[in-house]
């Protein structure tokens, strides 16, 4: 545990040496990850890390130093080093701590920490169960490409010279399994996983192994599609990425650097009327919940998109000042983005798609956030008359994100909760498919 008194003493020391503003952030992590293959441990990784960073300002001149030696005398030396850096830095009038009025001096307990005394034997057992369940499902499943159980427990503490001190512990547990199947046409692979703050809320290892195997079997004997324009439906696991591009484009860094295709979009409509996206940072047990952001600014629920219209950018203190605005409490990113559904379940969405491509995996990084141009490798399934007819692979899908956003016709209620960005499947009315 980090000591509040030590932080306060260190801040006082820095101020005595000439710093006008100081922030100290410290993180402690304890983690264990075990991977099993062929019912035997392949890797066992254990980590125990501490890191402390000092960010200080001398009249808008910034100095930053990090250290993992947390002895007080060494921290004083780190403070001296940060002061030396700041003295020779150029002044930036937008730099500095958040304004005091926005700091989370009072914040809620979001129940993010469920510590559990886990050893490697427990992790091995869980991973073995997942692997075995997948291998036993069907003779076409030839091998497991690894089943991994991991646990991470962390503590974050943040303090600054405005009198703010905040801390919260958190835990993360995850189990994943990758299966390889083979038939006369070749080999395919797929995976499944479960994750939660509370280990007791994880899906069973057997279910994860079986789901990984079933998904792998469904991908065997893929066909190639001719190049065309068609409707595309994204499964929740890949639909998340579509919305993440929107968040990147309305983040402060992209906006003040003018490297976004959504410049000056505040108050403008970029989605259809039915699209509303909420940020809910105070969800109990949430995978991206946080009582305050990475600067100590209080987080609060808000509509980022309402009825298709941009209601809020995603700003930290620096980008807010560059844009002449105020921080939105998004230093470090977005905290639980909830995409509202149009009400259809997965089967109803397939009927609505009628004929087109169901995308289950995306590959490559072909997204230009300056222009919005979008081109990524994909695989999934071809749909006819609202029914999945065969798997497809080795295709590329392309479009422009502005047009893609406006062309969303439905968002399902088949929400994937295994992320801080929660959405169901979505349908885009038309995109380019590059195939054979």
pLDDT in tens, 207-248: 999 999 999 999 999 999 999 999 999 999 999 999 999 999
Does 145 lie in the same domain as 80? yes
- Last residue of one domain, picked from the residues 187, 218, 249: 218
Nearest CA to 372 out of 304, 270, 236, 295 is that of 270
User: In the prediction, which pLDDT does 378 show?
Assistant: 97
- Last residue of one domain, picked from the residues 177, 196, 218: 218
User: In the prediction, which pLDDT does 436 show?
Assistant: 82
- Last residue of one domain, picked from the residues 178, 193, 218: 218
User: In the prediction, which pLDDT does 3 show?
Assistant: 81
User: In the prediction, which pLDDT does 116 show?
Assistant: 87
Q: Which CATH number do you get for residue 178?
A: 3.30.2290.10
Does 369 lie in the same domain as 264? yes
Which sign does the torsion angle of CA 16, 292, 54, 67 carry? positive
Does 264 lie in the same domain as 183? no
Does 206 lie in the same domain as 65? yes
- pTM of the full structure: 0.94
SS3 216: helix
Does 413 lie in the same domain as 364? yes
Low-confidence ranges of the chain (pLDDT < 50): none
Does 407 lie in the same domain as 266? yes
Does 139 lie in the same domain as 91? yes
User: In the prediction, which pLDDT does 161 show?
Assistant: 97
Does 277 lie in the same domain as 422? yes
Which sign does the torsion angle of CA 292, 297, 302, 303 carry? negative
Number of domains the chain contains: 2
Does 104 lie in the same domain as 9? yes
Largest CA distance in the chain: 74
User: In the prediction, which pLDDT does 1 show?
Assistant: 54
Does 96 lie in the same domain as 30? yes
- Give me the domain span that covers residue 15: 4-218
Does 240 lie in the same domain as 157? no
Does 371 lie in the same domain as 295? yes
């Amino acid at each position: 545990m980090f000591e509040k008194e030590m932080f306060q003493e260190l801040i006082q020391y820095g101020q005595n040496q000439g710093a006008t503003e100081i922030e100290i952030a410290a993180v402690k992590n304890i983690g264990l990850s075990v991977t099993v293959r062929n019912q035997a441990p392949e890797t066992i990784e254990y980590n125990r890390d501490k890191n402390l960073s000092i960010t200080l300002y001398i009249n808008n001149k910034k100095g930053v130093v990090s250290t993992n030696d947390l002895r007080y005398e060494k921290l004083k030396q780190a403070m001296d080093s940060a002061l030396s850096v700041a003295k020779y830095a150029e002044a930036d009038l937008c730099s500095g701590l958040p304004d005091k009025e926005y700091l989370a001096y009072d914040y809620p307990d979001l129940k993010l920490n469920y510590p559990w005394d886990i050893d490697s034997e427990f992790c091995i057992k869980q991973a073995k169960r997942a692997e075995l369940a997948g291998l036993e499902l069907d003779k076409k499943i030839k091998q497991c490409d690894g089943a991994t159980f991991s646990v991470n427990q962390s503590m974050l503490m943040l303090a600054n010279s405005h009198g703010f001190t905040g801390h919260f512990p958190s835990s993360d547990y995850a189990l994943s399994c990758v299966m390889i199947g083979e038939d006369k046409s070749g080999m395919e692979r797929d995976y499944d996983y479960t994750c939660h703050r509370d280990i007791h809320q994880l899906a069973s290892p057997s279910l994860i192994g079986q789901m990984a195997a079933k998904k792998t079997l469904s991908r065997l004997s893929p066909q190639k599609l001719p190049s065309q324009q068609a409707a595309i439906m994204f499964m929740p696991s890949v639909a998340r990425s579509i919305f993440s591009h929107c968040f990147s484009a309305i983040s402060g860094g992209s906006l003040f650097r003018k490297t976004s295709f959504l410049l000056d979009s505040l108050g403008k409509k970029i989605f259809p009327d039915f699209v509303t996206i909420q940020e809910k940072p105070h969800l109990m047990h949430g995978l991206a919940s946080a009582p305050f952001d990475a600067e100590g600014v209080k987080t609060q629920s808000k509509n980022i998109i309402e009825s298709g219209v941009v209601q809020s950018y995603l700003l930290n203190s620096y980008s807010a000042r560059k844009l002449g605005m105020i921080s939105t409490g998004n230093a470090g990113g977005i905290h639980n983005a909830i995409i509202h559904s149009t009400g259809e379940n997965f089967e109803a969405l397939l009927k609505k798609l009628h004929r087109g491509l169901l995308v289950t995996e995306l590959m490559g990084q072909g997204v230009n956030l300056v222009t919005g141009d979008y081109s990524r490798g994909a695989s999934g399934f071809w749909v006819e008359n609202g029914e999945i007819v065969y798997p497809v692979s080795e295709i590329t899908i392309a479009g422009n994100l502005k047009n893609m956003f406006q062309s969303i016709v439905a968002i399902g209620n088949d929400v994937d909760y295994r992320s801080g960005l929660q959405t169901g499947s979505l349908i885009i009315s038309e995109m380019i498919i590059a195939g054979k």
